Amino acid sequence: MSKVLLITIATGKYHSFIESMLGSAREFFLSSESHEVNFLVFTDNPTLIPDHSDIYTSVWDHRPWPYPTLLRYHAFLSQKDFLSDYDCLFYCDADMLFVAPVGDEILADGLVATIHPGFYNKHINDFSYERNENSTAYIPYGLGENYYAGGFNGGRSADFIEMCKVIKHNIDVDHSKDIIAEWHDESQLNKYFYDVVSPAKKLDPSYCFPEADWAKDLPFDKKLIALDKNHEELRA
């Protein structure tokens, strides 16, 4: 039996999503008997997290935007030893909802990434890669393969933890130069998949399907929905 950990972050107003996300994950995420699945929530208020034996919490302060997302890899590494006890690690945004079974098709011998629904059929020059040459996340025009969403990714624990280390380092280097990549951790994630290692498995946008109206005609089945919300209000 494999041990799998699903990680998320719920601080500030994102607490409003966590109960439904975890409830849907407990129903649909790797629910076969061949997996032991637990959950780890980084939160500034553990009392707001559902009390179940398979849900763990780690205290993580809420910070002004964009730091709640930019520093996610710093958070993960603060619990590196705990993460290392698992065979596979996956990250899911708190404002997501599992709506259909997500099974063994997401597992791979390496890292797993989700193709961003907004860019799956776009030319590489239209991808939202970081274009600031001074950033560690920089990818030149004309290069790249896919643009990956930051909302759902994972893989073997050793590979995931190594990815966290590299991305944390690059974010710290940028920070020392007063640089923040345009799409924060997602920019750094895409640089890692471009520059260090390509994902062993590339999931289609079913695993980050937008609830927004613009996505209604996307040719994918809904498995994991990115909920529509007022970003400015949540990040205030």
What is the set of active-site residues?
186
The residues with which 73 forms a beta bridge, in sequence order, are none
Contacts of 198 (CB under 8 A, 6+ apart): 145
Nearest CA to 133 out of 103, 162, 174, 99 is that of 174
**Helix or strand run (H / E) with residue 33:** none
Residue carrying the six token digits 């705990």: 82
Residue 199, exposed/middle/buried by CB under 10 A (0-12, 13-18, 19+)?
buried
CA distances from 176 to 21, 159, 170 (A): 35, 26, 10
Nearest CA to 98 out of 223, 210, 209, 204 is that of 223
Which two tokens mark 47?
Answer: 């009392």
Which stretches within 119-225 are classed as H helix? Answer: 157-176, 184-195
Distance separating the N- and C-terminal Cα atoms of the chain? 43
DSSP reduced 3-state for 24: helix
The conformation of residue 125, written as its DSSP 8-state character, comes to: G
Nearest CA to 192 out of 161, 231, 234, 228 is that of 161
